[in-house]
Amino acid sequence: MRPLALSAVIFVLVIGSILLGACLRRILPQHHLDKSAQDIVLQIGVVLIATMVAIVLGLLVAGANSSYDMQNNQIKQVTADIILLDNLLAGYGPDAMPMRKAMRRALGSYVDRLWQENESAGQRPFVADRAAESIDLKIRAMLPQNEVQRSLKERALQVTADLEQTRLLLFVESGHPVPAPFLAIVTVWLMIIFASYSLFTSLNATTFTFLSLFALSAAAAIFLILELSNPFSGMMMIPSSPLRDALTPIGACLENNVGDCAR
């Protein structure tokens, strides 16, 4: 289920618990709702559960945000490495032109593969990118004519290895969605909290509105966690356009200086 739909379901369940508490308030005998019962439920039970919910949600938001930032930085690193690789091949000379053209042809499919495999990480095995492997083999087959070309070739091979390693790290790190039991437990906690408040408080338009807003805030926190946990899809998806547009066409590139060919 999508994060927005799942968060909406949780919000509806919490609203239902508010109405359930209001119904129980009318059904239960009055001595079950006296001051001592209210103190035990609200000041001990609800405070304890609310504290646990706040801690758990806070830690999960921080963890999901940290994971999102890390994967976003890895995508930026991939973009920088591709530009650097093209720059190294441009400095190598005309012999590297076939590799540079192959990079431009393969870049779109490489980006699509990154987003597709990270969106569904854990559902399918990691598959090597044949286009990237072909470019790597072509670079290895280059025959340097001097020390400068030899150095550029070694550096280019290192960059291609870094690119594949970063892609593998992204694949491994993306296969950790929020467990369903966790969402179920947090939802039950929230339902207990809001049902308790409506049980011991007369429900009118004002209290119902504010309890609904509090429930919406809790559902929004869960939505944020779910969205940040999967940065390759959804409303907070890491944009692919910077990586997709990292390399200028060869024709436009050759009109400029060699140093501008990777920009």
What confidence score (pLDDT) does residue 128 get?
A: 67
Flag whether pLDDT at 238 surpasses 80: yes
Mean pLDDT in residue range 220-246: 88
| Of the candidates 177, 75, 60, 182, the residue with the CA atom closest to the CA atom of residue 120 | 177
Mean pLDDT in residue range 179-185: 86
Token digits of residue 39: 């103190």
94-150 per-position pLDDT tens digit: 988 988 988 888 888 888 888 887 776 555 666 667 777 788 888 888 888 899 999
Average predicted confidence (pLDDT) for the chain = 85
Please state the pTM of the whole predicted model.
Answer: 0.78
135-147 per-position pLDDT tens digit: 888 888 888 889 9
Residue 236 and residue 106: Cα distance in Å, rounded? 26
What confidence score (pLDDT) does residue 86 get?
A: 92
Confidence of residue 260 (pLDDT cuts 50, 70, 90): very low
More confident residue, 248 or 256: 248
Confidence of residue 172 (pLDDT cuts 50, 70, 90): confident
Confidence of residue 255 (pLDDT cuts 50, 70, 90): very low
What confidence score (pLDDT) does residue 122 get?
A: 53
Token digits of residue 6: 């799942």
What confidence score (pLDDT) does residue 210 get?
A: 93
According to the 3-state scheme, what is the secondary structure of 18-48?
A: HHHHHHHHHHCCHHHHCHHHHHHHHHHHHHH
Longest dimension (CA), the chain: 95
